[in-house]
Every structure is written in C-alpha cells, then in structure tokens.
Amino acid sequence: MGVVETDLQLAQRAAMTGAAVALPHFAALADLPRELKADGSVVTAADRAVESAIRDVLAAARPDDAVLGEEQGETGDLATASRRWIIDPIDGTALFVDGDDRWLILLALEAHGEIVTAVAAHPAQGSIWWAERGGGAFEGRVVGGRVVADTPIHVSPDASPDPARSRFAVIPETWGQDLVAPIKAVTPARPWPVHPALMIARGDLDLAVQTGGNIWDFAATSLIVTEAGGSYSGVDGNPAPAPGASIYAASTGLRESTVDLIRADEADKAPDPA
C-alpha cells in the first residue's frame, strides 16, 4: 500500500498543477481573451482553466468533498460532505492581465465550518506559502514542481497595537480607498511585492486591509496569518472569512484598534438623524 497523501500535500499539488496551467497564459498575455464580470472585475480563460485543473486534482483524490470556486461555483453537498475546498484560481486577475507578477493561486480546505488547511502560491515568483490549523505557517519555493526550502514564518513580535505606528498596506491599491482613509491619515500605505497578508505572516508588515472580496479571497490567507501568530477578521469583527472587507494584523490588539478606527470614521460620516 502506498503512502496516503495528506490534505496539505494534496493542496500543494493542486496549487502547483494550477500554476503550471496559469504560467503559459501569463507568458502569452497578448493573446489572452478578457471579459468583465457583472461586478466589473476582469475574468480570463486562464481563470477558468486553472480552476478546472485544480478541481480535477481534488476530484480524483477526494471525490466525496464539496468544492467552491470563484468561477464555477459550488459542487457537491456540503451538508453531507462536511468538507469543502475553496478555490480562487487567480487572485488578482487585474494584476495578471497587466503582466504584474503579484497574482496568486489560493486554495483552502474547510472542515465542519472551519478553515483547516491553506495554500497560497505566487507562481510567477516561484513562492508558495501554507498552513495547517494548529501546525504553524510556512514559506517555501517551488523548484521543478516540488516544494523546497520550507521555512517557518511568524509575525513581527514588535508590532504596536497602535495603527499609527504600524507598517500598513492596502489591497488592492486602486479602489476602496474611502474605507482605509482613516488609517492612511495616521500611517502611509506601503508598496507590497507579495500579498500583504503573507508579508504580515513573515513579519515584513504589521497591518493590511483588503477593501473587498469573497470567501475565496480570504480563506487561505486568513489561516496563514493566524497560524503565523497574527489576527484576522472582517471589518465587522467577524473572524470567519466572508464577503466584504477584511483586516489582517500582527496582533489581536492591532486588529481591534483598526476596526475601532474604521468604525469611528464611519460614525463621523453618518448623517445626523436629527
């Protein structure tokens, strides 16, 4: 009997399979058809092809699991399966079509309503990040289709709970700026070479706000940040990945003070009921 592939090994293999599909599209952007979704976001043939490739890997290895993907929706019965894979085939499609190498493949496993396994890959940069609940967070490289140089990562132990003293980034850099205006008023938004949540997980940033998204945008990165010792929630304080805006922070205190700052700003902007 062969060695049974763990959920983490499967997630890494599926993400690398998706990367192998995405990279030729990324190398031939001029010929890549692009469409706009109903919400105005960009989708390409690469998004669909990557999700299909990941789904094929998952279906062959875990046929009883449900799957939720950004492009193909939900398949399988979560009530019966109790396990669901969550796929964002190309997170940052706008970056992808602009030839910017910061796009990701995000894959997470949810079991009994809790994210338990996560992989985030920057295929064009050759990096991969992962976490298992209770097992810590790691960063590695992809060489020849294999994960190598796996390194434990942890948030900065010196992060202040004060947003004004934080190293801050916003995702994306071009919209949703009203939400982060009160943070940018006290600390500048910094550039990010990789997804800011991952930079927080390895101690390079302290705070990041993602101004919009869905569960597939946050499922993997939320677990990686929390397993690295950080904190995650929606702007509403909900710790479970969900549609809307989200906050990643190096500590619970910093996240909570950021939520308070955003709420105070929203209260100041609210019309006077009198």
Q: What is the DSSP letter of 45?
A: H
Report, as an integer, the average pLDDT of 41-66: 88
Q: What is the DSSP letter of 135?
A: T
Cα separation, 141 vs 139, in Å, equals 7
7-153: CATH, from 3.40.50.300, 2.60.40.420, 3.40.50.1010, 3.30.540.10: 3.30.540.10
Q: Report residue 36's pLDDT band, with 50, 70 and 90 as the boundaries.
A: very low
What pLDDT, on a 0 to 100 scale, did the predictor assign at position 40? 42
Question: Which tokens hold the place of 161?
Answer: 């709970």
Q: Give the pairing type, strands 114-122 and 104-111.
A: antiparallel
Domain over 163-266 is classified CATH 3.60.21.10: no
Query: Which pTM value belongs to this model?
Result: 0.92
What pLDDT, on a 0 to 100 scale, did the predictor assign at position 27? 82
Q: Which residue has the tokens 């940033």?
A: 205
**Domain residue spans of the chain:** 7-153, 163-266
Q: What is the DSSP letter of 131?
A: E
Q: Which residue has the tokens 């993602």?
A: 210
Contact in structure between 232 and 222 (CB atoms under 8 Å): yes
Name beta bridge partners: 8: none
Residue 224 is inside which H or E element, if any?
A: helix 215-227
Report, as an integer, the average pLDDT of 150-167: 97
Check residues 238 and 26 and name the one with the higher pLDDT. Answer: 238
The residue type found at 19 is A
**pLDDT digits 0-9 by tens, 183-216:** 999 999 999 999 999 999 999 999 999 999 999 9
Q: Which residues of 244-261 are buried (b: 16+ CB within 10 A; e: fewer)?
A: bbbbbbbbeebbbbbbeb
